[in-house]
């Protein structure tokens, strides 16, 4: 019986000593000190450009209008009011017809009315035929908007 007590007491003491030494070892361990090139000096916020450019080209036969327009970041702008402003600033005639919820149809730019020689005003966004009317298209940074007076969509 004495031997059993002695064995239990020895194991208990050994366990306590082991736990204490293990805890001391963990406490003494420190995280490695970062070098100067590992310490961030400042966190840079995501930078958003304050403006972005959209290019509008209108082919008037012998004359091609090319205008760059600056968009304000975070502000959605529709093609129609931007186009009207650019043409107004250049004193170029623009005629349109509103179809309510369907949008606006450009019927004439400069001296070129729709139907003349079987041609109509059509526009392209980044080289692709526009999927929506000018009054519905929301401009995006880097857009190239091209207006063509053409008889066939496929004959760009």
Mean pLDDT score, 71-88: 84
pLDDT in tens, 103-132: 999 999 999 999 998 999 999 999 999 999
* Structural domain count of the chain: 2
Residue 123 three-state SS = strand
Query: Is there a domain that residue 46 lies in?
Result: no
Q: How far apart are CA 86 and CA 27, in angstroms?
A: 71
Same domain, 23 and 80: no
3-state secondary structure (DSSP) of residue 150: strand
**Residue 155 maps to a domain:** no
User: Distance (Å, rounded) from C-alpha 72 to C-alpha 94?
Assistant: 25
Are 23 and 66 within one domain?
no
Q: What is the pTM of this model?
A: 0.62
For residue 25, give its domain range: 2-38
Helix (H) / strand (E) element for 58: namely: strand 51-60
68-93 average pLDDT score? 85
Residue 129 has what pLDDT? 93
pLDDT band for position 43 (50/70/90)?
very low
**Does 70 fall in a domain?**
yes
Q: Answer left, alpha or beta for residue 44, where phi above 0 means left and psi between -120 and 50 means alpha.
A: beta
Arithmetic mean of pLDDT, 140-146? 90
Cα–Cα distance measured from residue 145 to residue 84, given in angstroms and rounded to the nearest whole number: 13
Q: Is residue 43 part of a domain?
A: no
pLDDT tens across 11-32, in order?
554 554 455 545 555 555 555 5
How far apart (Å, rounded) are the C-alpha atoms in residues 90 and 70? 16
């Amino acid at each position: 019986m004495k031997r059993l007590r002695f064995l239990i007491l020895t194991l208990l003491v050994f366990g306590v000593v082991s736990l204490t030494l293990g805890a001391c070892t963990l406490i003494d361990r420190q995280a490695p000190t970062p070098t100067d090139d590992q310490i961030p000096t400042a966190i840079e916020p995501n930078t958003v450009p304050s403006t972005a450019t959209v290019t509008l080209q209108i082919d008037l036969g012998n004359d091609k209008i090319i205008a760059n327009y600056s968009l304000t970041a975070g502000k959605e702008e529709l093609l129609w009011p931007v186009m009207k402003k650019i043409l107004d600033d250049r004193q170029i005639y623009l005629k349109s017809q509103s179809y309510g919820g369907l949008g606006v149809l450009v019927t004439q730019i400069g001296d070129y009315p729709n139907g003349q020689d079987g041609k109509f005003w059509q526009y392209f966004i980044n080289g692709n035929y526009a999927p929506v009317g000018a009054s519905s298209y929301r401009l995006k940074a880097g857009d190239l908007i091209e207006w063509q007076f053409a008889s066939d969509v496929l004959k760009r």
